[in-house]
Structure 1
Amino acid sequence: MNYRPPELRTVEVIRYVTPLREGGSLPALVEADDEFLYVLKFRGAGQGIKALIAELIGGELARALGFKVPELVFMTLDEAFGRTEPDEEIQDLLRASEGLNLALHYLSGAITFDALVNTVDARLASQIVWFDCLITNVDRTARNTNMLMWHKELWLIDHGASLYFHHAGYNWEEQAKRPFVQVKDHVLLPQATELEEVDSEFRSILTPERIRSIIALIPEEWLMTVDAPFDSAEEHREVYASFLNTRLAHSEVFIKEAQHARKTLV
């Protein structure tokens, strides 16, 4: 079967519905010109464009691995959109986010995953823990699971806190080979008993070609806007691809860390 590179649609915000203040970066529920509702992640909020890049890479890697992830779309915000917004904080956010942003399809009626109520089998738990170790996702804890139950199925959301190496001077060579010590706080770690089996399966899926096709989705304007020591967008993309490929090549490091952390829990 021929591999088909992923594609993202581009839509435009036509209506600001409500802020989602449970998020640290003030995402919002908005309506787009395709008449669907989305959770909009603003380029002018929190960690800014780097969070959008991590959201894009993390979400599409998860989709490639077979996880259920809401559709990601590029979303444009017109400069005139926030002029009538009465809330000054939101108005400032809208003004700082003019241009191209990122949004997730809104799963109406979804409920937050609760480890005390919802059960996950060992295989799926191991898959999610392995994935979060790969992308260094610190945001899948019992306090904030960033998982939803929708139509009795588990969906992964919010990967903007992953790939945190790009917030620390892009020292990717060293950080790509480090264990993911934050896995000790992962909400699914107690059930993750099949990490080695998952490793073999997932490494075969995430080929360099597939990784590069996902990295290629990052808009050039995002890459050239962030504070990074690169002369071109392609050089910047190469760092993300190299980080992930190196991390895959040394996956035994984060697997051993996860297994060690799990032994202290069970």
Structure 2
Amino acid sequence: MNAAFDAAAIRARAEAAITVALEVGRETARFRRESDPGTLAVQSKGLQDFVTIADRRAEQAIRHGLISRFPDDTFMGEESGGQSEGAGTWVVDPIDGTTNYIRGFRHWGVSIAFVVGDKVEIGVVYDAAEDKVFHAVRGGGAFKDGLPIHAATTVDPANALIILGHSRKTSFDEYLALSKRLHERGMDYRRLGAAAIDLVRVAEGAADLCYERHLNAWDMLAGALIAEEAGAIVAMPPVSRLLAQGGPVIAHASGLAGEFAFILDIEGL
């Protein structure tokens, strides 16, 4: 751990992030329930890539909730930008799964990671579907509303449940080829549209694999740490590269490592 952050400093930040994620997540869910969809002021950032007034409000609330407590930390958010600099940086997606949020499909969440140097030290994800908070501190295990969680012990691919994400920055043909290969091995798969939530599904053992070829850092860092601390095997590029340009992530149950080794080869991880 970076000398600037002892265990007490990390724990204080983790507790603050849990509180902020729960408060902002619940308020964002309430706003969606009580708003006419037309008042969400949806703007397009690209094909199937949207931002709403709710995203901006949530990010402002998260920034205030964290930086007011820890003014020397830096902040990097999906909507407001920022750079990872100084001793420690909060990396935040205020609504991961904005398209789902807009349509009222509750597979979305709030993702908050704290990065020190090239390591994610804290991961916190609010899960809107269950109104619960997942969290992990590096080396301390993974938790769902304070109770320990563990990745699945699945060893038979015919019993495996897979979550595959897809970015329009990558090849759809390759996505289809991967889906076909997994299908032929007897695995069932889903595409749900919120990477942070996909990763905590692996952490809690509800899914056996989460894989996407390209994500931004704010989509994946919190969920990846939670999955790793829950006992899943997680592979992704160095954090510094992800902060600069994004990249792939794979998280899977350890008993199926042999089934997914080819994905690591594809990504060079």
The TM-score with structure 1 as length reference comes to: 0.25
More strand by share: 2
Q: Which has the higher contact order (CA 8 A, sep 6+)?
A: 1
